[in-house]
Amino acid sequence: MKITFVGAGSVVFTQGLLADLFAFPELGGVHIALHDIDGERLSTAERAGRYIARERGVSPRFTAHLDRREALAGADFVINIVQVGMAEATRTDFDVPAAFGVRQTIADTLGVGGIFRALRTFPLLRALGTDIAAVCPDAWLLNYTNPMAMNVQYLTEATGLTRVVGLCHSVYWTMRGLADLVDVPFEEVTYRAAGVNHQAWVLEFTRDGENLYRRLDDVIESDPELRRRVRVDMYRRLGYYPTETSEHSSEYVPWYLHHDSEIERLRIPVGNYLDIVEENTAEYERTRTALAAGEPLTVEGTMEYAPQIIHSMVTGTPRMVYGNVPNRGLIENLPAGGTVEVPCLVDASGVQPTRAGMLPPQLAALNRTYLSMNDLVVKAAVEDEPRHIRHAAMTDAATAAALTVDQIWHLCDEMVRAHGDRLQPSLRVTLG
């Protein structure tokens, strides 16, 4: 069996996924093919992978490839963790909007940052889809690259791939955190969530028939500092807890980032992701230095879904994970074809999304705005229509709350200039 990592130079993430994979004895002998366009990072990822394998006591076959198609040939699973443009492009996604007065915290899902992160990723996704169709057409593509929902929709519409699922750990870690808050062992909690990536909702939260939301209400009522979190504020107003951090959640609605008082009240860390980028770069340097010096690495599992999916499909072990997939009747009051996040059953037959039914109307209303923006970004690329980039920014709730329509168009022009040839040629136009 062959597992190909595309973007393996994201060394820290690659290490975590490999640690998870090698925790399963049945996967100890797999072929791990690593691909990246940065030779130094690729070499570091390979050395880190071999170290983790030794620590786990397994003997996989490792190959490293600067050529993507060579890495993909004959793959059974493809894990996409590419970040096009790396730290430089991420800083652009923050700095240019900030000059217009647009505040962002993570900038990888919606908003101006999310739009242009998608647009510079789409050309890679199209090429990746072409390669998969040519050299490993039966492979499952497990996508981690953000913006998750836009990327999965683009892959579905532009490449024709059908074995695609987007993976994110937000539901799992949200539920771990909620279990801790209500002082109930996670293993005893039953939960169900659905919605869109980074804005799904905890629809059921119980233990042995007890509604744990009531316990959560008591905890929140007794802790004023807990009430100073965006997603707690959203939960108290909407009635269902969102499945992503407050930093993420603040960006997808118009209520918080445009107001100084709300940033103070809810302790929103504007520009927070730039610190994460710096730490990721520093962690990569620490890993590279440790490997060169023969020093030990910290080998920790991450509980990510991709290794669990691969194990289930290889061994037939049934599991439930949360996946991002096209909405084909899964959530009835969200647009068909948009990417939704729902529980998925996994076994030897593959990843099988389950129907979530109808979301409460207040939740569906927010998710529909999110998916409408996504759809415009995908259409901009698929239809070679640069005006749809501006339409998407106009539709985005946080951007529209901060800027006039004319400012939005000028901001998009500046972002097009800043990202230059990372975009497909048809979208490299300014519309003033």
Catalytic residues: 169
3-state helix, strand, coil in the chain (%, to 5): 55, 15, 30
Q: What is the DSSP letter of 339?
A: E
User: In this structure, are residues 326 and 339 in contact, taking their beta carbons and an 8 Å threshold?
Assistant: yes
Task: Determine the Cα–Cα distance for residues 240 and 202; give it in Å rounded to an integer.
Answer: 6
Q: Which residue reads 């520009």 in tokens? A: 271
Distance of CA 9 to the CA centre of its chain: 17
Nearest to 370 by CA among 289, 286, 233, 253: 253
Nearby residues of 177 by Cβ (< 8 Å), 6 or more positions away:
none
105 token code pair: 């915290």
How many Å separate Cα 305 from the centre of its chain? 12
The residue among 108, 103, 89, 34 whose CA lies nearest residue 66 is 34
